[in-house]
Each structure stands twice: as C-alpha cells, then as structure tokens.
Amino acid sequence: MNELLQLGITEILESLRAREFSAEELTRAYLERIGETEARVHAYLSVLEDEAIGAARAADRKIGAGDDDSPLLGVPVAVKDLLCMRGTKTTCASRFLENFKAPYDATAVARLKDAGAVILGKLNMDEFAMGSSCEQSAFGPTHNPWNLKTIPGGSSGGSAAAVAARSCVVSLGSDTGGSIRQPAACCGVVGMKPTYGRISRYGLIAFASSLDQIGPFAKNIRDAAILLGAVSGHDPRDSTSADEPVPDYTKNLEAGVRGLKIGIPEEYFIEGMDPEVEAAIQKAIAVFEEQGAETLEISLPHTEYALPVYYILAPAEASSNLARYDGVRFGVRQEGESAYGSLFGMYAASRENGFGDEVKRRIMLGTYALSSGYYDAFYTKAQRVRTLICRDFMTAFEEVDVVLSATAPTPAFEIGERLADPISMYLSDILTIPCNLAGLPGISQPCGFTSRGLPIGLQLVGKPFAEKTILQAAAAFERATTHHEALPPL
C-alpha cells in the first residue's frame, strides 16, 4: 500500500507545507486506491475524480502562495450520500433519488470546502439511512475490509469501510440510532456522533429529524477531532442548530484521564453479548484504571425501553419526512395517471417502485404509530419514556464524566445472515440508540479483535456538548493501546 495512504491529517498538512508531495499527488494516490479496492469493497456510490483533482490543484496554489492555514487544506475526504453536494448526485442509496442532483451544498459539505478539503466522492449507505448493515442500499451492499464476507455496519457502512480500506483520509456519516458508531466498531475505525445540534443538518436528507446527527469517521482520535472542529458550529438555516461556541477539540488530547470518573452501566452488559466483545470491554476498563481513571458501576434503569421507543419514534418521523417522495416534487416518477387510472395510482406506483423493503417497512410502522386511535398509545407514550431515558443519563452524569460500554453486542456478522429477521438486525443498535434518544455525544474506537480477526468497538458517551471530554478519554486509551494501528488484509 502506498505510504501516503497511512498519513493522518496533521502529517499531511505538515508534508504539504514542506513540499514533500503535492495535494494533487496525494489525491491521485487515493483515487488509485479507490480503483484498487472498489470492486471488492463497494464503499463509493460515485467517485468525483475531476472535481477532486480540481480541488487538489486549487489547494496546491494556495499552499504555493503561503495561504496554508486551512484545517483540511488538500486532505482527501468523502461524504455519505445523503449530504447534498451541489451539482452531484445525492441518492440516499435509493432508486427514488438515483437521478437527483443537488442544487446546493449541505452546510457540512460547504464547511469541508471552506476548510480546503478535497472531496473524493459520495459513499454507500443503507437506503435513506434505514439499516444496520449497509445491505439495504439499492445499489448493492458494502463489504467489510476486514472480512469481505461480513457487513461493514450501517447505515454509514460506506463511510466506515472507506476509512478502513484507506480509500479516503476521513469521511462524514450520519447517526440516527448508531449509524456512525456501529459501523466504526465493525470496521475498526473511529466514529463520532456529536451532541444533537452541534453540526448543522441543513442539506442532510432527513430520516428522523429529532435523532439525525452528522459526524466524522477517522483512523485515529486526532483526525476525528480535527474534522469535527471543521464542520461544527451554529447555522441559522437549521432551526435545531445549537448556538454554542466550538472549542479546539485537539487541545486536550494529551491531558490523560487521571481523576476522570467513568461510569459502567450494568444494563449495557446484555444477555446475548458476544463473550469476546465482553472480554475486550473488560480489558478496556482495566486500561482506563491503569491510566488513573476512576470507574464506577452505575445504573441507567430505562435502557431496556430504548429499542422499542426508538422503533416507534424513528419510523414515525420517517413516515412524515418521506411523505414528500411522491414522484411529482421529488424522486423518480413512475407511469402516469393514464396507466393507473388516478393520480393516487401514480403516487402509489412511484412509492412502490422507488422504495426498498426496509424503507416501506418503517414507513408503515411509523404511519401506524401516528394513526388516529394509536397516536397516544404509541407515539406520545414513547416520547414520555424518551424523557425518562434522558433523565437516567443526567442523573448518571451527576456522578461520572463519561459512560463506557461496548459499541455493539457482537462483531460484524456475515452478509445476508440477518436480512430475513428484522428484529435481530435492529438489536445491532441496542447499545447505541439511548445516546441518540438523549441527544448526547458518543464515540466508538477500536478496542480489540475477535479470534476471527474482526474488530471490536468501545463506546464512550459524554454530557451534552462535552465532546472534548470524550475525545480526551478516547485519546488516552488510544495512546495506551495499538488496536488502531492494525490494517485490514485488503
């Protein structure tokens, strides 16, 4: 593998300033890597070669002029294909949007461009972000670089796999119930879901608006911190965007964890957890203790309700958000009124042919939960229980600074293994969903491997807008271990 592909953001920026190589040379190395790996991994839905080369040349001109202080100047990145990027296809991995070209940039994409990033392409995902395995893409599944027969996690499977395969330096994904952290765990990379509202959702094609959040994937904690800082901040175009100052997330990465209080929730060591996953988490706890952190057993008593609450609220919001896809205003239009006898027939045909099975399943679940006679029994009750889950975390954070658990109860499973059993698939996110319901920041980082060589992820969850604290803790663990240095046999 080309040595350039192993460099982190800081090393890249230093080397570009020292003229050790150019941004165009770096970009071409990544485009070559995409060509080498895509037939096996299928992380990308579109590769923007001409645009990337143009952006790299622009970065080289800025560096040549001494204007080289942009945080991602010349750094090759890629973005999940639900973030609008002007003039490029934004498909959400759905046939419904396979020909849609975004007329504007999402705020996160605009901030990448402003930071000097070179955007290599758009990444595969579960259709409309509804899935835990990246098998629900209308354009075929992404494969895990660690074992091509296994899933990369989802829904941001392409974003995780691309970083693991070294076909981009860093990437952006989105997390509604674990869709950044679970794929990061499956692919042995760092993935972070920031606090709800930390990164603007303007230009993010919505799944569940009260849960969706954009976040970074990276090879290491420092790269994740740099990317997070580049795309964070208030945006008046997003009414849920938080007007909170954005700190320098790289500043405290060397501070260590001595004196930090880490909570270990008893409810997160669930029945059915893979023994190798549990063993890796116990070892990780010991590493933190050796570094001077204090660990405490805590209780998050309403955890058991998080999964059913999520699968009422998220489909309900999806049902509302996806109502706009009718073949008239948005999406691929099927044969018209003359073929089906009515305007309604055209709507039905467009949605029947445009959406995949999992999207239809969630629309139906959500529509049922919102329907007359069931709204209070399901949706309203779920919102009340969501409040109890939030209170559990706030009570815990009176005692501890960070909550630690496994990211997923099992390592990556084989492609096709759970497609016929949606409930089994949904359980993949059982440890990540509570963080979304409470709007908290969470990170997944590598903490070991199974006997089959599959990565295991460690999850750290923090207080609202305490991304610096969990990055600091994650960085201390990374310095004390070597799991993040391993490369997939691709």
Range in 27-36, 311-320, 326-335, 424-433 with the lowest mean pLDDT: 326-335
Instruction: Compute the average pLDDT of residues 297-310.
Output: 97
Instruction: Compute the average pLDDT of residues 364-384.
Output: 94
Residues 431 and 178: their CA atoms lie apart, in Å, by 8
Contact indicator for 485, 478 with CB cutoff of 8 Å: no
Residues 187 and 341: their CA atoms lie apart, in Å, by 49
Nearest CA to 363 out of 345, 348, 376 is that of 348
Pairing of strands 294-298, 261-265: parallel
Interhelix angle for 221-231 vs 467-480, to 10°?
A: 160
104-162 tens-digit pLDDT: 999 999 999 999 999 999 999 999 999 999 999 999 999 999 999 999 999 999 999 99
Of 46, 94, 133, 155, the catalytic one is 155
Of 46, 156, 179, 241, the catalytic one is 179
Residue 299 annotated in active site: no
Q: 325 pLDDT band (50/70/90 cuts)?
A: very high
Nearest CA to 212 out of 233, 197, 230, 191 is that of 197
Say if residue 285's pLDDT is above 90. Answer: yes
Say if residue 390's pLDDT is above 70. Answer: yes
Say if residue 423's pLDDT is above 90. Answer: no
Map tokens 């058991």 to a residue: 304
With 0-12 / 13-18 / 19 or more C-beta atoms within 10 angstroms meaning exposed / middle / buried, residue 239 is exposed
Q: What percent of the chain has pLDDT over 90?
A: 91
Say if residue 271's pLDDT is above 80. Answer: yes
pLDDT of residue 345: 84
Q: Is the peptide bond before 155 cis (omega within 30 degrees of 0)?
A: yes
pLDDT of residue 340: 66
pLDDT of residue 38: 98
Say if residue 341's pLDDT is above 80. Answer: no
Nearest CA to 277 out of 411, 104, 368 is that of 411
Say if residue 382's pLDDT is above 80. Answer: yes
pLDDT of residue 335: 60
pLDDT of residue 270: 87
74-115 tens-digit pLDDT: 999 999 999 999 999 999 999 999 999 999 999 999 999 999
pLDDT of residue 349: 86
pLDDT of residue 328: 84
Mean pLDDT score of the chain? 96
Q: Is the pTM of this model over 0.85?
A: yes
Question: Across-strand partners of 93?
Answer: none
Residue 155 annotated in active site: yes
pLDDT of residue 206: 96
Range in 22-36, 298-312, 337-351, 435-449 with the lowest mean pLDDT: 337-351
Contact indicator for 113, 119 with CB cutoff of 8 Å: yes
pLDDT of residue 369: 95
> What is the CATH T-level fold of the domain 3-255+468-485, as seen in this structure?
Amidase signature (AS) enzymes (3.90.1300)
pLDDT of residue 273: 95
pLDDT of residue 338: 54
Q: 339 pLDDT band (50/70/90 cuts)?
A: low
Of 22, 62, 80, 171, the catalytic one is 80
Say if residue 333's pLDDT is above 90. Answer: no
pLDDT of residue 411: 98
Instruction: Compute the average pLDDT of residues 233-257.
Output: 97
pLDDT of residue 309: 98
Instruction: Compute the average pLDDT of residues 223-228.
Output: 98
Domain ranges of the chain: 3-255+468-485
Say if residue 336's pLDDT is above 70. Answer: no
435-475 tens-digit pLDDT: 999 999 999 999 999 999 999 999 999 999 999 999 999 99
Q: b/e string for 38-64 if b means 16 or more Cβ within 10 A?
A: beebbbbbbbbeebbbebbbbbbebbe
